[in-house]
Amino acid sequence: MKKLKQTFDKIQHNNPYYTSWVCFVQAIEKRNYNYRILKQHFNILVDKGEYDLKDKTALLQQLYNKTRTET
């Protein structure tokens, strides 16, 4: 779990113009995180102003699918 935050911070540091959403997507991509971990870190790391609260469940499902992608 600590590794996800470290990866996120590294991406954010190396790409200061990326939004927290973009950094989070890159940090979780192809890393097989479970839904609970994704949701927990999403709430902490992604700025709430970058997504509509009513779409949060759908966004989390997309992220979960992205972390499972092998391509």
Per-residue pLDDT at 70:
58
Between CA 2 and CA 61 the distance in angstroms is 22
Per-residue pLDDT at 16:
95
Per-residue pLDDT at 69:
64
Between CA 53 and CA 1 the distance in angstroms is 24
Choice between 71 and 69, residue whose per-residue pLDDT is larger = 69
DSSP per residue, 7-30: HHHHHHHH-TTS-HHHHHHHHHTT
1-51 residue pLDDT tens: 679 999 999 999 999 999 999 999 999 988 888 999 999 999 999 999 999
Residue type, 59: L
